[in-house]
Amino acid sequence: MPNSNIPVITIDGPTASGKGTVAHRVAERLGFHLLDSGALYRLTALQALRRQTPLNDEHALAKLAEHLHIGFTGEAIFLSSENVTDAIRAEEVGNTASKIAALPAVRQALFGLQLGFRKAPGLVADGRDMGTVIFPNAQLKVFLTASVEARAERRYKQLIGKGISANMDDLLMDLKARDDRDTHRAIAPLVPAEGAHVLDTSDMTVELAVEQVMNWYAAFGK
């Protein structure tokens, strides 16, 4: 099957909008592969922090991104042979990922890697530029959004549930700063793709969001 004929669903949106969880469940329901593009930037950020790579050294950061040894097994994420699923969700890693994602060389280094996830029978890709840059010809494009307050509350519960201390005011400030960086960066800013279905999940359960995406996808076959 030619690569271009393999169906793709893109799910973009800001931090803590629920896109990762929705993407995972939709992929599971359809039996599709999953691309968590944000994890690629977080893995690059984690490696940069561990190696104390200056965040203004774009060339060095791009080299790190090019030579990542990444593995996805279910919901587990591996860097080389180390399970870093929880490590990449730390707030410092997330903030660093948001900063390096604005660097053109880093984005270019990860571009081909992301395209390679498009395999039969299909792909669900979540991130910030999946529908605008990486898979602009996707069969279904979804943009999940939610109020910054709702997203901060979700992130707070997520961190506390993992035994990580968190402060609501700090989370709100971090999310607003990330939103500003992501929507105003010169390269691939966070915006709904052309033709994307926008879904506000502020007052919506994950189950309802998944069903809505499934219904939109089912409509393509009619």
Query: Could you tell me where the DSSP H helices lie in 101-134?
Result: 104-115
Report yes or no: 17 and 201 within 8 Å, Cβ to Cβ: yes
Phi, psi of 148 (to 5 degrees): -65, -30
Q: Consult the annotation and say whether 14 binds a ligand.
A: yes
Q: Consult the annotation and say whether 112 binds a ligand.
A: no
Strands of the sheet containing 76-79, edge to edge, are 70-73, 76-79, 82-83
Q: Consult the annotation and say whether 99 binds a ligand.
A: no
- Tokens 């039969």 correspond to what residue? 120
What are the residues facing 142 on neighbouring strands? 11, 197
> In sequence order, which residues have a C-beta less than 8 Å from that of residue 91 and are 6 or more positions away?
159, 166, 171, 174
Q: Consult the annotation and say whether 13 binds a ligand.
A: yes
Q: Consult the annotation and say whether 21 binds a ligand.
A: yes
Q: Consult the annotation and say whether 18 binds a ligand.
A: yes
Rg (CA), the chain: 17
What are the residues facing 35 on neighbouring strands? 125
Q: Consult the annotation and say whether 116 binds a ligand.
A: no
Q: How far apart are CA 102 and CA 75, in angstroms?
A: 26
Please give the annotated binding residues for ATP, written as ranges: 13-21
Please give the annotated binding residues, written as ranges: 13-21
